[in-house]
Amino acid sequence: MDLEGGLGDSLGIDSLEPAITRLASKSIKTDSIPGLSIGVVRGDYLSGYFSFGTHRLGTESSPAARAISRVASITKTFTATAILQLRDLGQLELDDPLLLHMPDFTVASALHGTLEAVTIRRLMTHYSGLRTEHPLTDWDAPSFPTTDALLNGLAAIEVVIPQDSQWKYSNLGVGLLGHVIEHISGVPYERYVYEEITAPLGLENTTFELRSDQSLLKATGYSHPVPGSDEIRESPYSPLRGIAAAGQLHSNVEDLAKWMSFQFTSGRSTHPSKVLTASTLAEMHRPVYMSENWLSGQAIGWRMSRRGNLVLHNHGGGIQGFASNMVFSVKAQTGVIVLANIWPAPTVAVLSEDIAEFVIRELGPVSEKLQTDLHPLSEDRARAYLGHYWAEPGIYVDVLYQNGELSLVSPREIDYSLHSPADLQADPSVSVGDSFRVVGGRGAGELAEFSRGDSDKVKAFRLGGFLYKRVD
């Protein structure tokens, strides 16, 4: 994926730079961020890139789109993808108990819930009831359990709350999924992710351990040694070792833009995925749990949030020296990546959502017309179908030509809207000249079949079991 200047210009990304800069500046000031990278993804392209500050204090070099950061828990979205791949191959089921694939897990203690209820699906959605961290994890002097220590210490792992009782984030739980992937695939977790996910998608700088040439691209990570102070220091590096599946990955804006565009393929039959089928990817994005107020939720590997009528998927990451977040709307085919070289940086998550919402509301969704074989009608061809239609028992709809589309629109707000709003587009696979495919709404995918009278004037159309008669 290249930074497409032409696409950015056509979409108006450049015109949004002042507003994005204002939002970013506030975050930089609040969290004392040395360097900030922001990528805006539209469809298949990284259509806008904005950088602020420096990737290393003492230099004038601003972060580039290729600058590599630790992206921490964004790793979890790759782990969830690997699990779904193995499910699709028939190697596991999402509702399998963990102990089916990790028999030694039976020695863990269950204070609440049951061991049998610690399932693959609950581990991916953080409803397993497991404690947040392995007992050997130490975030103060960063240290994480080795694989042997993790597996030998299963007896110390606890189910601390009943399953499904509340969302409880667990690095431990997702870390264990890495060992499930190893057990089933027969290869190390890191190798599996490389061979089956990052390499097929061309994520050249998304890796668990940096090569020497990649080390030259790595940003320096920082932290605050004194709470509330503006003073910052370089953070130590500590690999996650036995829980690598929870947060070990490094990446950059360029690669995460490709990863985000891959998420959009669930809605595009013309963009088959090399990694997951469109139906599995759509399954990954569906909410498994929702909050009582419907403002947030949890999908498989992804968090969800809602801003008005805008549904966003997101996942962030935080680890010594680095904070990250990526957020996107599948429907709008638009998203934002934010990478900061300091941790903690709590404003990064809000910043990414603010920018994503701003871009989507300003520019609208990426056109889906490019993703199908359907074609809008010309105004001349559409003219014959325009008019006011009525169907028993009193349902009205106007057929209008607006914004270059033949559309179904309710005449008044008080009217019962059954099949509107929606668009009508020509489908080359349909031989009948007066039949059009419905795009959007209740009738999506069905045919609106128009009929003509003796004078060759369009008199009615049939859709979804209703006959709409022309009354104008």
Instruction: State CA 180 to chain mean position distance.
Output: 24
Q: How far apart are CA 49 and CA 253, in angstroms?
A: 8
Domains and CATH numbers, the chain: 5-80+184-369 (3.40.710.10), 379-470 (2.40.128)
Per-residue pLDDT, averaged over 28-32, amounts to 95
- Which phi and psi angles does 299 have, rounded to 5°? -100, -170
Per-residue pLDDT, averaged over 133-142, amounts to 91
Res. 269 pLDDT band, cuts 50 70 90: low
Res. 375 pLDDT band, cuts 50 70 90: confident
Q: Output the pLDDT for position 410.
A: 94
Res. 155 pLDDT band, cuts 50 70 90: confident
Res. 372 pLDDT band, cuts 50 70 90: low
User: Token pair for residue 467?
Assistant: 């006959």
- Give the sheet arrangement for strand 334-340, strand by strand: 45-53, 35-42, 334-340, 322-329, 310-319, 303-307, 296-298, 289-290
pLDDT at 8 over 50: no
CA-based nearest residue to 222, from 240, 241, 237: 237
Using DSSP, state whether 299 is helix, strand or coil. Answer: coil
Of 80-89, 156-165, 198-207, which gets the smallest average pLDDT? 156-165
Q: Which residues contact 238 (CB under 8 A, 6 or more apart)?
A: 142, 143, 144, 320
pLDDT at 210 over 60: yes
Model's pTM, two decimal places?
Answer: 0.84
Using DSSP, state whether 123 is helix, strand or coil. Answer: helix
Sequence length of the chain is 472
Q: How far apart are CA 452 and CA 270, in angstroms?
A: 34
Q: Output the pLDDT for position 273.
A: 73
pLDDT at 444 over 70: yes
Radius of gyration for the chain, computed over Cα atoms and rounded to the nearest angstrom: 26
How do residues 339-370 score in pLDDT, each as one tens digit? 999 999 999 999 999 999 999 999 999 965 44
User: Tell me, what DSSP letter sits at residue 266?
Assistant: G
Res. 267 pLDDT band, cuts 50 70 90: low
pLDDT at 69 over 50: yes
Residue whose token pair is 């003492």: 58
Q: Output the pLDDT for position 2.
A: 39
**CB–CB of 208/200 below 8 Å?**
no
Q: Output the pLDDT for position 225.
A: 79
**CB–CB of 275/85 below 8 Å?**
yes
Q: Is the backbone peptide bond immediately before 272 cis, with ω within 30 degrees of 0?
A: no
**CB–CB of 157/172 below 8 Å?**
yes
Residue type at 131 in one-letter notation:
R
Instruction: State the DSSP string of 339-385.
Output: EESBS--THHHHHHHHHHHHHHHHH-PPPSGGGSS-BPPPHHHHGGG
User: Please, what is the average pLDDT of the chain?
Assistant: 92
CA-based nearest residue to 341, from 214, 471, 213, 218: 218
Res. 271 pLDDT band, cuts 50 70 90: low
How do residues 407-418 score in pLDDT, each as one tens digit? 999 998 888 999
Res. 80 pLDDT band, cuts 50 70 90: very high
Residue type at 398 in one-letter notation:
D
pLDDT at 109 over 50: yes
Q: How far apart are CA 200 and CA 447, in angstroms?
A: 37
398 compared with 415, residue with greater pLDDT: 398
- The packing angle between helices 75-88 and 278-285, to 10°, is 130
Q: Output the pLDDT for position 370.
A: 40
Please report, for residues 320, 417, 442, the alpha-carbon distance to residue 412 in angstroms, rounded to integers and kept in the order given: 57, 9, 18
Per-residue pLDDT, averaged over 65-73, amounts to 97
User: Token pair for residue 351?
Assistant: 């910043």
Q: Output the pLDDT for position 175.
A: 98
Q: Output the pLDDT for position 442.
A: 93
Residue whose token pair is 């947030």: 296
Q: What's the number of CA atoms in the CB half-sphere (13 Å) around residue 303? A: 21
Residue whose token pair is 């693959």: 120
Q: Output the pLDDT for position 145.
A: 96
Res. 44 pLDDT band, cuts 50 70 90: very high
User: Tell me, what DSSP letter sits at residue 151?
Assistant: H
Q: Output the pLDDT for position 74.
A: 98
Res. 108 pLDDT band, cuts 50 70 90: confident
Q: Output the pLDDT for position 11.
A: 52
Per-residue pLDDT, averaged over 133-160, amounts to 92
Query: In the chain, pLDDT over 90 holds for what percent of residues?
Result: 82
